[in-house]
Chains A and B, each alone.
Chain A
């Protein structure tokens, strides 16, 4: 809107703009607007790029691409379902572990721990968040996978083997290993951001709760955590975004088998992993465009997840304490 005033003609107006420019407001407005627009533009270009490059695959398979379980580069038949399944399953598995763990740690660090311990822990958490994913992948191969194969999976099979998710051969690698590694990778984000938002809860909220006769834990669980829940949700969705798109560490432990198994012990595949594995040697238009369409599917999954996150935030802030975060 501001830009529409610029090309206007008369001298007085120009002088007006110049004087306004000199104060800096207009410049700051324009520059930041431009940068903000570049984000939108990049997203759009990405979407257009993915859409046009995946053209041959869309033309050949149509909607069937999303529901077919066949991935056969030799026969030229491609379907996304095993990859979608693997991506969502490993991410959900990761969050099922990392959300309770991360939020509990954040509550401890911000509410209960002595300040010196809390600061030391917070430093370590930030350190963990900065470790490159390939390091987590190596760690997973050399420690998590053997531990799962020797102890974790036999234990689960012995005690919960009647559940279909804990059946089949125990190799160590597979959905469970991938989910565990992702949970280790997402937990630092959840701790760090949740802790920040818990610490941002005003002091008077706590004091009010205590003054009303609440115990320390009652004040934490019924006042502080609900007050900070938007920040906690934010941390969870950031963790989810990382889990959905994580490539290297998952590729190293998931087994890279494009099929759908109920068992968490089985090998699977994620979208990011198959792109990393197959794109460099993919020959032929259809093969390449199918891989690009997988990228498009991952993009859409991320958009849907983010939209759901927004809806959740809106829904909970309506019925909640009604503050602004």
Chain B
């Protein structure tokens, strides 16, 4: 009796081991901003392809690049394109696949102002440089006719934690303001000329909410999920518009004509009258050579699925979907995975 039991147990164990071996487990790590949609994608894809399990750790873009460099993950994810220096550190060159887009919006708390405020490249960079320090600055008054701006001091709030959001925001400021470029530059953390730092979107939003006269910047998805009011920005075509999934996608479409073949491109201050100026891709970083055939097939299948079916999930979760031009171009890049 016990002999039979042991035999059955052993057989069951062997079978389950075989079952595990047949399943393809893929590990990835990186950006936190797209985590919500990535976890939904990986789950939906697993339901469609039960043998493929993709595990994603949202550790931050920097950590994603590090883990890819160290070879501890099958692919990485980042809110900013890898630099040449970072790519040089990799044995296998990575391919950048944009997945969705995000926008960054200014949030503020100005006493007596309930309308959407209008900002331009000049006023926003002036505020963050500390050159515009009062809400009734003539430039702000000129851009906001009919709004009674108080004579209060502007309290500048920025992110204190290293973040892709800060990278995109400072990338925009660097493009539109030469002084910002030379003084602070664009990075996940910069040397802020003025203001106080708060951790995370929630920290910035919380500080702005309770501090009269303050201004901060948060991700569009965070602002819309929490029903925050946010300002309009003037884009490179001179049109004031609010960020939403349409205007952010339009920014990518505007940049698509001049898109480099490796997709390493910043789309802040993008051309086009519908293009929201502080927009960005987020990327998957896929090694260009995947020796394991079944793993390669699983990853390529996923990318194909992500570029077609997956894109339909984006808008519902607050992410802007890729424009058609970019999807077509990315589909071609799939052939480069060897």
Which residues on A are within 8 Å of B, measured CB to CB?
70-75, 141-142, 145-146, 149, 169, 171-174, 251-252, 255-258, 267, 273, 276-284
Contact = CB atoms under 8 A, between A and B. Distances in A.
Q: Chain A CB within 10 Å — which of B163, B184, B198 has the most?
A: B198
How many residues of B sit at the interface, in one of the four size bands? 35 or more
Contacts of B231: none
A256 B197 contact: yes
Contact of A283 (B65, B190, B195): B65
B160 interface: yes
B188 interface: yes
| Nearest 8 pairs of A and B residues by beta carbon | A281-B162, A256-B197, A256-B160, A74-B185, A255-B196, A72-B191, A280-B60, A281-B62
B16 interface: no
A142 B192 CA distance: 25
Interface of B: 59-63, 65-66, 83, 85-86, 153, 155, 160-164, 184-192, 195-199, 203, 206-207, 210-211
Nearest to B158: A256
Contacts of B62: 280-283
A172 B211 contact: yes
Contacts of B163: 281
Contacts of B155: 169, 171
A277 B199 contact: yes
27 contacts: A70-B191, A72-B190, A73-B188, A73-B189, A74-B185, A74-B186, A75-B185, A75-B191, A169-B155, A251-B160, A252-B199, A256-B198, A257-B192, A267-B196, A267-B197, A277-B199, A278-B162, A279-B162, A280-B59, A280-B62, A280-B63, A280-B161, A282-B62, A283-B62, A283-B65, A283-B83, A284-B85
A71 B190 CA distance: 8
Given A146-B210, A256-B199, A282-B189, 10 more contacts: A73-B162, A73-B191, A173-B196, A256-B198, A257-B196, A258-B191, A277-B189, A280-B63, A281-B60, A283-B65
Given A252-B199, A256-B199, A277-B162, A73 B153 contact: no
Contacts of A169: 153, 155
Contacts of B83: 283
A258 B191 CA distance: 8
A187 B2 CA distance: 63
Nearest to B207: A173
Nearest to B83: A283
Contacts of B206: 141
A171 B188 contact: no
A279 B60 CA distance: 10
Contacts of B191: 70-75, 258
Given A74-B191, A280-B62, A283-B86, A257 B197 contact: yes
Contacts of B210: 141-142, 145-146, 172
Nearest to B155: A171
B61 to A, nearest CB: 6
Contacts of B189: 73, 277-278, 281-282
B196 A171 contact: yes
A242 to B, nearest CB: 20
A145 B187 CA distance: 29
Nearest to B161: A277
A86 to B, nearest CB: 12
Contacts of B161: 276-278, 280-281
Contacts of A149: 211
Contacts of B160: 251, 256, 273, 277
B192 A171 contact: no
Nearest to B187: A74
A73 B163 CA distance: 13
Contacts of A276: 161, 199
Nearest to A70: B191
Contacts of A281: 60-63, 161-164, 188-189
Contacts of B66: 283
A174 B197 CA distance: 10
Nearest to B197: A256
B66 to A, nearest CB: 8
A267 B156 CA distance: 12
Contacts of A257: 192, 195-197
Contacts of A252: 198-199, 203
A193 to B, nearest CB: 31
Nearest to A278: B162
Contacts of B185: 74-75
Contacts of A173: 196, 207
